[in-house]
Structure 1
Amino acid sequence: MKSPIYIHRYTMHSHTALNAASTRHDHEGALIKVDDGYGCMHPWPELGDVSLDRLLTALERGRTTPTTRSALYCAREDGKARREGRSLFDGLEVPLSNATLPLCEKAFDQAIAAGFTIAKVKVGRDPEAEAKFIMEQSDRFPTLRWRLDFNAVLGRGGVEQFLKSLSPECRQRIDFIEDPCVYESESWNELYTRYGIPLAVDRDVENAESGVNVVILKPAVNVVKPMLEKAHMESWRVVFTSYLDHPLGQCFAAWRAAQSAKAFPGMIDACGLMTHGLFEPNAFIDRMGPVTPEFTPPGGTGLGFDDLLEKLPWKRLI
């Protein structure tokens, strides 16, 4: 007999819009509870994910998606650790992270003061203003490395125009460009040949072939092991990131990054795991502590948050 599944729907509120494909500030998701373990489902319909209501309906009917499969896997591993009275982070070291920032001067001041050396920003909504801001901050912080995530909203021509509007000095400080346009090996190879800036694939990571220098892995939706093996064969850099989701999902991504760093020494690059500062505070976000390059687990068994999870109102789904 299958274990019952309980859910807790939540809404998190971001300080700003979180990517070029979305303007909303309210972000719905659901935590799941299976036996003693917990997982997180936090879809992004703007980026092609199935909506939360449809995810829950499918799960109720016994059908799974990448999002629900990852959440169920998380709950299984989390529950096993909780029953054994241990943290999933025991014996592991979480890689350092970049700062994931809005285009706001105050946010950059705070990130530099916190010790970040790499900034990731979402671009493509207002290219002219974004390029101007990036050059200004690059001049202020000349040792800062940049990761630009276009979410494939501009197309190749728009990306080239964006890059041309940056100064040569600024372009040299770009660590990589993420999803500059829809992945297509020939087009990406030409972009890399022309500008020499590494290209990172996120949304179409499973189909990545040539033209890719970096793969972005999101444990919330990606099956990690085969992608790690492929990245190892192709000598790709690997960056783990959260799904801009609930702190429980953020901790799941950090745990998978730490596991992978231990299994593949030297292959996991600075990650994007410190994303809770993008949202208005709540009890879970407060438990994550200050936003710094170092990830500190929230404490407790499994992925943590023992007392907070126990207090939530859970509703039986199945």
Structure 2
Amino acid sequence: MIKLSYYEYVLTPFTTLNAVSAGLPRRGALIKVEWPQGFVGYGDLHPWPELGDTPLDEQLAALKKGRISAQMEQTIWLARKDANLRKKGKTILTAGEKVRNNFLVSNSAEIVPGFLDELKRQSYSTIKLKVGRDLAAEATAITRMAAAGFKIRLDFNGTGSWQIFEKFFSGLTAQEKVWIEYVEDPFPYEADTWADAKKLVKVACDAPYEKVDWENSAKVPFDILVIKPAKMDVDKAIERCKKFNLKATVTSYMDHPVGSLGALAVAMECKELYPNIMLDAGCLTYRSYQMDQFAANINTTGPFLSNVKGTGIGFDLLLRDLPWQKLN
């Protein structure tokens, strides 16, 4: 029987993180998993109730009664990957091929003079912009990013409607559209209207993943699958990419640095195993929050993870010294 412990944390965002959140502090829990064979690994449980997840308190209460949610299953799965590396004295930098990450912009107001020049200097080539709150300002941001030569990923988080999306996208110039790599969750999922959107631009599926009729469809109305290891069965997602000829990107869940590096380990492994499927990743989302001691321990060189202190996903001393509380 595995032993489970948790440490509850709070992350403070710099700004509103997307079109469905209010920019308030966010709660989550680090999970320590101990197996009978002496393996110890760590994962992150960071629900987004705004996106349909079961709230943190409910998941922890269920765990204390022996009930494990699908999201918690993924947390344990990621902790096992971490534990395997720790047991071998290795880090996630040995887990697969080096991957490039996009730069996440949660609010178009962040794109001030000099901002894009600095990203170029750091060797970023792709920006993911959260959109849907101020379409006029976001259109201006797209103009600037395209002029600077960045690939652009737009994430609407399923807000708005087909009519709003069509009007917004039609207002962009041909030169701006060339730089848009894909649009993620352009509006609430409905196969026919997503198919219409797909005629205008490449579409990526994230939140509506479970709403897709995977078993009975000959094709799906999108081109790219956003794989979030924090809540998705990665092996099943890859098989669906193969079946429907989809590209994929692995991203973290805008969660704790432990979650970000757990997702990055999966991104590196997938890049090595499925190079023809995988696009650049998006696993540096911990930067959306005020820096804590964990974030301060992550070393990056532009869009790449450059060093890990410790074993597995790292943070050895920080994790060791946390006041863990038992779950079972």
Contact 1:276 1:291 in 2 (8 A): no
Separation (CA, whole Å) in 2 of partners of 1:88 and 1:170 = 37
Give the one of 152, 164, 171 matched to 1:165: 171
Instruction: Quote how far apart the aligned CAs of 1:314 are.
Output: 0.8
Aligned positions of 1:88-103 closer than 5 A: 88-90=92-94, 92-102=96-106, 103=108
How many percent of aligned residue pairs carry the same amino acid? 31
Secondary structure at 1:283 match in 2: coil
1:50 is aligned to 2:50: no
TM-score, with structure 2 as normaliser: 0.90
Q: Deviations over 1:124-182 (max 9, x none)?
A: 1122222223223433x1x2111000011112111112112222221221110000012
Aligned to 1:17: 16
Separation (CA, whole Å) in 1 of partners of 2:301 and 2:295 = 10
Q: Which runs of 4+ in 1 moved over 6 A?
A: none
Contact 1:276 1:288 in 2 (8 A): no
TM-score, with structure 1 as normaliser: 0.93
Secondary structure at 1:296 match in 2: strand
Instruction: Quote how far apart the aligned CAs of 1:290 are.
Output: 4.0
Supply the AA of the counterpart residue of 1:124. G
Aligned to 1:8: 7
Instruction: Quote how far apart the aligned CAs of 1:183 are.
Output: 2.2
1:258 is aligned to 2:257: no
Aligned to 1:61: 65
Aligned to 1:246: 256
Give the one of 146, 151, 163 matched to 2:152: 146
Secondary structure at 2:94 match in 1: coil
**More displaced stretch, 202-211 vs 42-51:** 202-211
Alignment length (residue pairs): 313
Secondary structure at 2:93 match in 1: coil
Instruction: Quote how far apart the aligned CAs of 1:234 are.
Output: 2.0
Aligned to 1:225: 235
Question: Structure 1 unaligned runs (5+)?
Answer: none
Aligned positions of 1:261-280 closer than 5 A: 261-280=271-290
Supply the AA of the counterpart residue of 1:13. T
Aligned to 1:299: 309
Contact 1:274 1:292 in 2 (8 A): no
Secondary structure at 1:286 match in 2: helix
The change in CA–CA distance for 1:109 and 1:60 in structure 2 (over 3 A counts) is: farther
Secondary structure at 1:38 match in 2: strand
Question: Structure 2 unaligned runs (5+)?
Answer: 35-39
1:203 is aligned to 2:213: no
Give the one of 74, 79, 83 matched to 1:79: 83
The change in CA–CA distance for 1:177 and 1:307 in structure 2 (over 3 A counts) is: same
Separation (CA, whole Å) in 1 of partners of 2:251 and 2:140 = 26
Instruction: Quote how far apart the aligned CAs of 1:280 are.
Output: 1.2
Supply the AA of the counterpart residue of 2:140. K
Secondary structure at 1:282 match in 2: coil
Aligned to 1:32: 31
